[in-house]
Homo-oligomer: A and B are copies of this chain.
Amino acid sequence: MAEMKLLGVSLSPFTHRVEWALKIKGVEYELIVEDPQNKSPLLLQSNPIHKKIPVLIHNGKPISESMVILEYIDETFEGPSILPEDPYDRAIARFWAKFLDEKCLPAMGKVYFGTGEESDKAKEECNELLKILDNELKNKKFFVGDKIGFADIAANLMAFWMGIIEEASGVVLVTSEKFSNYCVWREEYLNCSQVKDNLPSKDALFAHFQARFQAAAAPK
């Protein structure tokens, strides 16, 4: 039997991207939980360039970068496809995945973990980015096609983690009045069985972010 190990962190959205892809394909795997403060020799040896999770190790061969791993999983295993069949639709899915990783996540990072002025500016940027996503998701069930796929999985932080970060920080960017299409997509997405049955603990995530915000607010 093929040996499949996933080096990851239980609360990480990037680890969950890979887990959801493996669940969609029905591939069994062993999650090896890493401590970001004390990285294992296996992680350092498997991803010597970035020294970061997630790393998928398939029959001893390591692959890094969550979205690169998703392409690998889709190309290697039978089962429901993660990227659509048609090359044009695949390009659209990859475009949105890139947009989410390169535009939305850095802006969100600045809103919640940036300094005062930086955070205020990033709020405006996030608002614009959410408008774009909301517009894109109008009359659509998922980013591309009628089932969860590559771009939706890329958006997992925005679909699940973000709500908890909003709650823990008190800074709410998404309301159903402002971004109704986005909220409909989010609900549909979080109801997919591969997602719903494999979410991290909401309480653990809330405690994690609350501790981060409290530490940031504490006098230095």
User: Across the interface, which residues of B come within 8 angstroms of A99, CB to CB?
Assistant: 49
What is the count of identical protomers in the complex? Answer: 2
- A30 interface residue, CB < 8 Å from B? no
User: Across the interface, which residues of B come within 8 angstroms of A87, CB to CB?
Assistant: 72, 75-76
Of B61, B69, B88, B132, which is within 8 A of A72 by CB?
Answer: B88
> Which secondary structure dominates chain A's binding surface?
helix
Binds B, one of A89-97, A116-124, A157-165: A89-97
Q: Within residues 167 to 204 of chain A, which ones have a CB less than 8 A from any CB in chain B?
A: none
Chain A interface size, as a band, is 20 to 34
- B91–A68 CB distance below 8 A: yes
- B65–A98 CB distance below 8 A: yes
- B49–A72 CB distance below 8 A: no
Of B58, B61, B68, B98, which is within 8 A of A95 by CB?
Answer: B68
A64 to B63, alpha carbons, bound, how many Å? 26
User: Across the interface, which residues of B come within 8 angstroms of A75, CB to CB?
Assistant: 87, 90
- 8 chain-A/chain-B pairs, Cβ below 8 angstroms: A63-B88, A63-B95, A65-B98, A68-B94, A69-B91, A71-B90, A72-B90, A75-B87
